[in-house]
Chains A and B, each alone.
Chain A
Amino acid sequence: MDTTIEPNAGTGRLSKPPGVVFGKVAAAALFYIVAILIAAAMFLPFFWSLITSFKPSDEIFSVPLRWLPSHFTLEHYIKAFTTVSFGLYFKNSVILAVAGVIANLFFGSLAGYAFAKLSFRGNMPIFRTLLAAMMIPGIVTMIPSFYVLRHFPLLGGNDLFGSGGMGLLNSFWGIILPGASGTFAVFFMRQFFLTLPSDMMEVARIEGCGEFRIFWNIYLPLTKPALATLSIFTFQAGWNSFLWPMIVLNDPDKATIQMGLQAFSYNNQTDYGPMMAGALIAILPILVLFLLLQKYFVQGIAFSGIKG
C-alpha cells in the first residue's frame, strides 16, 4: 500500500536526503490537518446538539453563541420524557427493531444456508428472482402493501375474504412481517455460508444428523461475525425507519421514536432543548451497538462482497 504522499514517492528509496525527510513530515502534517478538519466537521453537529441539550434554556439563544453552558442541566431530558411520551416511543422502537433483528437473523440465515449449501432444482432461479426484486423501489410496494395489511384474512376483525376490520393496520405485526426476512439478509448470509466448507455437512449426514440440526448446531455457530454485522444493519434499519411506521401506526401509543421526534418540531414554537435531547436519545442505541460490534462490522462490510 502506498503510504507516502505523492511528490516524494519512489525517490527516497535508496538514500534519504534531508529534503525527502522534510517532505515526509510535511506530508504527514498535511494529512493530519485535512483529516482532523474533516472529522471535526462531520462530528460537529453531534457535539453541538449535545452541548445544546445540556444548556439552560436561556443560554440556547445567546448571541454570540456560547460553546459551553454556564452549568449543565438535565431539564431538557426530563422535559423530553415528561411532556412527550418519549419513554413509550423508545420502548415501541426497541420492540420493533429487536423483533426485526431476530426474524431476519433466523429466516435470513435459514434461507441463506439453503441457497448456499443445499442443492435443489429451484436454487438459482429463485435466488436470482429474490435478488432482482431488490431493485424494486420501495415506493411501488408501499400502497399495495398497505392494502394487503388492511385486508389480511382472519386477522384484526377481518373475515376470510379480508373485509370487515382493519387487518394488521395499527399493529406491530404490520411493521414486523413485511421486513421479517429481507432479501438483503438472505443474500448476506448466503455469501457467508458459501465460504464455509461442505465436508462437515457430509460427515454429519453420515452420522445421521438431521438437516435442521446440521444447520443449527454446526453451521450457524460459525457465522457469528456475519450475524453480528447483520444485527447492526437490521437494527439500524428498524430503529431508523420512519415513513412506513408513520403509515401503519395511527395509535399515538404505538408511535415509534422517530415519529415521536416530530412532536417537538410540529408546533411553530419549536422547543430546541428537548428536541436536541430527543434526537440524541434517538441516536444513542445505534451508537452503542456500533461501538460494541465495530470489530465484526468492519469485517462484515469488507466481506459481504459489497465492494463488487
Chain B
Amino acid sequence: MLASIGKLNRHQEKMAYVFITPTLLLFAIFTVIPVVMALYLSFTNYDVLSRMDWVALDNYKRLFKDSLYWTTFKNVIFYSIIFVPLNILFSLGLAMLMNFKRFGIRLFRTLNYLPTLTSAVAAATVWIWLLHPEFGLVNNILGWFGITGPAWLAQTETAMPSIIMVTLWQSIGSNMVIYIAGLQGVPDYLYESAKLDGASAFARFRYITWPQLRPTTFLISTMAIIGALQLFDQAFVLTQGGPGNVTKTPVYLIYQQGFKQLQMGYASAQAFVLAIAILIFSLINMRINKAEEPVV
C-alpha cells in the first residue's frame, strides 16, 4: 500500500516536471541566459560583425563620460517624477468616481478604459494629429478660450509634457480598474463606524481609504516606475527623440546604439546601468510605501 502511494507520488512528480518543462526551457533560453549574458556582453566590444573581445570596464568608463546618455537619463527621470504621481492621483480619483453605483457606470468605466487597449503606437499616431499646431483639435479647443496653443511636439518646453499627457491618457484607465478592485476590497464597516464617529469625507479618505489601498498603490507605482523609466514607443512615434534630444530616452539610445550603430557591447552597458537605476527607484518606492510584504 505505502509502496504504491510512493509510486503514485513519484509518477505525479514526474508528470509535473513534464508539464513545466516547456515553460522552464523558454525561461532558461530567453531570460536566464540573456540576463547572465547582458552582464558579459557589457564587458565586450560585441558589434555583430567583427570578433568579440573582452574590453573589461571600457564601456562603463565611456558611459560615464557620455553626456548624451546622461541627458536621456535626465529626460526620463523628469518624465517619471511628473508622470508617476499624476498617474496615481488621476487613476485613484477616477476610480473613486467610478466606484459609485449609478446608472450607466459600466459605460463610463468602459469609455475610460478604452485608451488602455490601444497600442502606444496607434495612440501616439492619433495624438500627432490632435497636437498639430494649426489644425489639431487641442489648439483649436484652446482657441475657443482665446489661448494660442504652442507647437506641442516641436518645442523643447512642451515636447516632454506632451508625451506625459499622452501616456497619462493611455494609462490611467487600467490603473483605475485596479484601484476600483482595491476600493471594493475595503470593508464597509470601517466607513460605517467612521461615519458614526462623525468623521468627515476627507478624514475617511485620509485614515481609511488611503491606508487600506497601500498595497494597490505600491503595485501601481512600482509598475508605473518600471514602465516610465523604459519609455520608448511614444517618444519614438511622437517626437523621434527631438526636439534637441529633450525627449530622447535611455531605451531609445540603447536601441540606436545597439541596433542601428551595432555597438552592442556598449549598449549592453547602458542597459545594465538603466536596469540598476530601475532597481534603485523601485527600492525607494518600496521605502516610501513602507510595503513590508511582497505584492505578488
Contacts and interface: CB of A to CB of B under 8 A. Distances in A.
B125 A186 contact: no
A282 B169 contact: no
A140 B271 contact: yes
B134 A63 contact: yes
Interface of B: 8-9, 11-13, 15-17, 19-20, 22-24, 26-27, 29-35, 37-38, 41, 46, 48, 94, 97-102, 107-108, 110-112, 114-115, 117-123, 125-130, 132, 134-135, 137, 140, 143, 169, 173, 177-178, 181-182, 184-185, 188, 191, 195-196, 200-201, 215-216, 218-219, 226, 229-230, 232-233, 236-237, 250-251, 254-255, 258-259, 264, 267-268, 271-272, 274-275, 278, 282, 295-296
B19 A6 contact: no
Contact of A141 (B26, B30, B143, B267): B30
A302 interface: yes
B200 to A, nearest CB: 8
A42 B15 contact: no
Interface string A236-247: 100110110001
A141 B31 contact: yes
A247 B182 contact: no
B121 A142 contact: no
Nearest to A243: B232
B27 A307 contact: no
A283 interface: yes
Nearest to A43: B111
Contacts of A272: 129, 132
B130 A139 contact: no
Q: Dominant SS at the A interface?
A: helix
Given A63-B134, A114-B20, A181-B26, A143 B118 contact: no
A45 interface: yes
A1 to B, nearest CB: 6
Contacts of B12: 118-120, 211
A105 interface: no
A74 interface: no
Contacts of B101: 1, 3
B97 A142 contact: no
A137 B274 contact: yes
Given A34-B97, A35-B108, A247-B259, A45 B115 contact: yes
Given A1-B101, A142-B254, 18 more contacts: A3-B101, A31-B100, A61-B135, A114-B16, A119-B16, A120-B12, A133-B27, A135-B226, A141-B34, A144-B33, A144-B37, A146-B264, A178-B26, A242-B236, A264-B125, A272-B132, A283-B122, A286-B119
B125 A265 contact: yes
Interface stretch (A15-23, A123-131, A221-229): A123-131
B94 A38 contact: yes
A131 B274 CA distance: 21
A49 B23 contact: no
17 contacts: A3-B100, A6-B200, A9-B201, A111-B22, A118-B19, A119-B12, A126-B24, A131-B296, A142-B271, A147-B37, A180-B26, A247-B255, A264-B125, A283-B119, A290-B117, A302-B181, A307-B184
The CB with the most chain B CB atoms within 10 A, among A2, A108, A140, A275, is that of A140
A114 B110 CA distance: 35
B20 A111 contact: yes
A243 B233 contact: yes
A304 B128 CA distance: 35
A243 B255 contact: yes
A118 B22 CA distance: 16
Contacts of B100: 2-3, 31
Given A121-B13, A272-B129, A177 B26 contact: yes
Contacts of A205: 8
B137 A137 contact: no
B219 A306 contact: yes
Contact of A307 (B32, B48, B119, B216): B216
A61 to B, nearest CB: 5
Contacts of B11: 211
B119 A119 contact: no
A65 B102 contact: no
Contacts of B278: 137
A306 B215 CA distance: 10
